[in-house]
Amino acid sequence: MNNRLFLRKKSALQTESSVVLSDIKKTLHLPDIKTLTIYDSFDIFDVPEAYLDELIWQVLGDPTTDEQVVENDIHADLLFALEYLPGQFVV
């Protein structure tokens, strides 16, 4: 089964978002930006449905600090994404 998964930190734990927001405001001179949310996106291929929940919460995310977001629930005026190049980081 092929899935696209989005995880974000729970609102009280979004410290990285506030740091990046502050950096964007200062370095790009964009003081009108009010909020910023960082989503981790994962494309999951060929994982049986029975193992999907285990994969999400034991490998990719932490149920204590993260929450899963449905793609249709992401609303923004501006979206920016980055993706590592194939072979850029070898595991």
Fold type of domain 3-73? Mth169; Chain: A , (3.30.1280)
Read off the DSSP letter of residue 49.
Answer: H
Residue in the block written with tokens 């696209």: 4
Per residue in 11-23, pLDDT (tens digit) is 999 999 999 999 9
Break the chain into its structural domains and give their ranges: 3-73
pTM: 0.80
Per residue in 19-51, pLDDT (tens digit) is 999 999 999 999 999 999 999 999 898 999 899
Provide φ and ψ at 21, rounded to 5°. -60, -45
Residue in the block written with tokens 């405001």: 25
